[in-house]
Amino acid sequence: MPRTRVRDSNIEDIATISESEFNEFFQTVVITGTPTDTALIQSFADFFPGQGLIGGAGSVTVITGSEFVTISGGAGGSDIDDINSISSGSITITGTGAVSTITEGNVITISGIDGFVNPVAGFSQAIVKLDAPQTTTNITTLVVAWDSVVSDTDGWADLGTDNEVLTVPAGRGITHVRVIAQISWDVNGVGRRLHVLRKNGTSLNFANLVVRTAGPGTSTAGSVLTYQAISPIVPCSPGDTFGIEVFQNSGGNLDILDTTGDASSWFAVEQANPIAASGIEFTAISGSFTESLTVSGIPVATGTIGWKLLSTAEASSDASINFTLPPGFQSYVLHVKNLINQTDDRELWIRFSTDNGSSFLAGASDYAWSCGGVADTAWSSFDIADSEMVFCRIAATGALGNATGENYNVTFHFHNMNQSTNHAAVTAHFTYRQANNIFIEGSGAGALIANLDVIDAFQVLMESGNITSGSFTLYGLEAA
């Protein structure tokens, strides 16, 4: 059987060899002449439609239209279907022809793309709820078991297998989440209620909620007691589980109420990813990959807007921890973990800056603030004209301590920064321990009221004394 050679615009011996014989008996085909020659390309398309040319042990060259396209990496057959059958490894496609190849199960690596957003678009979350009351036993912890799914974008919930947890799904690029629980208790004015958010069966200590129901704030007959526990942004991996554990010491059995009437008991986990700071690798799960993918420079994020990690700091006997706020973000979140102050019974303050942190506003009537919560009794504090914003019980009534274990955890949310239309403001949710194992839980808000100046920095400081230690992490929510 003669050897077939394609040279310039001529195919020799084409009448004596079939397509299958060509693929079976010949390992290489040599093309000479101009690769864009229309006659050559048409001749190849006429006699070997849809087939490839073997170009070596690891690549296939295909002619489509008026161009040559080379596919390499795991190749070795004579046509493009062999590329589609590869179950592992990587595939590289170069050239400008319109060639598609299925990449399901293969790894696609995109490098040199600082600031590239999670490639999986959209928002991911799940919400579950109670459909019937759940009874808790006095002085006994209970992991809440949920009855039904309110919403679930990506298979977080599998209540038939484990109705106590929501599980981070794989294949969505989820690296950070926020966990929220709302629990409605049947009316009872005795003892405390404890709500503990859990990750992989372990307490998220900085997101616990302790409520004392006796004393001020005791519910009246015919009502219910409803509380929320909210975590800061928590790192996670696919397969991590989240749930909630509750505890009560009312002296007897006490029901958690289902979602009917004034009661509403539910649990949610939502995606809260910061933007990746380096290249990303992902595995295709469906569809096809057409031509080459080239990314250069720093791509502009499009589609779903996400949280971006801006800055971190570790306190070490510092008078204050200061952050500047880069423009281009809708809002900012600061998470403070395990802060310990130097001097006992001191308030934690926040002040704003209009000059990138060179100085901080401290006029006697610059700010208004209020905060309150529960501990051994309900408490609240406020000031409508102050030189700072306070986010704890005030001094001499249960401010921050400095003993071992009396650490302070808080999530601040900053609003209306880097603009002059609305008053710059901050909200917070915090918890810390006082002496005698009394836990403080509270929330607060403050604002710059003296003017509408553009705020571009802030500082965290103590009423007096230094911040001995603590971890600070600042995020920004990108503007739409």
DSSP state, residue 251: S
> Cα–Cα distance between 306 and 326 in angstroms, integer?
16
Full DSSP string of 53-101? EE-STTEEEEEETTEEEEEESS--SSBHHHHHT--SS--EEEESS--EE
Nearest Cα neighbor of 339 from 386, 417, 392 is: 392
Nearest Cα neighbor of 435 from 460, 461, 398, 381 is: 398
Residue-level pLDDT at 231: 87
Residue-level pLDDT at 352: 97
On the question of a common fold for 125-271 and 307-478, the answer reads yes
Residue-level pLDDT at 452: 93
CATH topology classification for 125-271: Jelly Rolls (2.60.120)
- Domain range summary for the chain, segments of one domain joined by +: 6-110, 125-271, 307-478
> Cα–Cα distance between 175 and 121 in angstroms, integer?
14
CATH code of the domain made up of 307-478 = 2.60.120
Residue-level pLDDT at 209: 63
Residue-level pLDDT at 396: 75
In which residue are the tokens 């901080």 written?
Answer: 360
Q: What is the pLDDT along the chain (480 residues), one digit of tens a residue?
A: 344 444 444 545 444 444 444 444 343 333 433 344 444 444 444 444 444 443 444 444 544 444 444 555 444 444 444 555 555 555 555 544 444 445 555 555 444 333 333 444 457 899 999 999 999 999 999 999 999 999 999 999 999 999 999 999 988 888 999 999 999 888 888 888 888 999 999 988 765 666 655 433 344 445 677 888 888 889 999 999 999 999 999 899 999 998 777 778 999 999 987 544 344 444 444 444 443 444 333 333 344 457 889 999 999 999 999 999 999 898 999 999 999 999 999 999 999 999 999 999 999 999 999 999 888 788 899 999 999 999 998 877 788 989 888 999 999 999 999 999 999 999 999 999 886 678 888 999 999 999 999 999 999 999 999 999 999 999 998 876
Q: Check if the beta carbon of residue 446 is closer than 8 Å to that of residue 425.
A: yes
Residue-level pLDDT at 223: 65
Confidence (pTM) = 0.42
Task: Say what the alpha-carbon torsion angle 258, 264, 268, 272 is, to the nearest 10 degrees.
Answer: 180
Residue-level pLDDT at 478: 81
Residue-level pLDDT at 207: 58
Joined tokens for residue 375: 């501990």
CB atoms within 10 A of CB 471: 14
Q: Check if the beta carbon of residue 26 is closer than 8 Å to that of residue 53.
A: no
**First CA to last CA distance, the chain:** 67
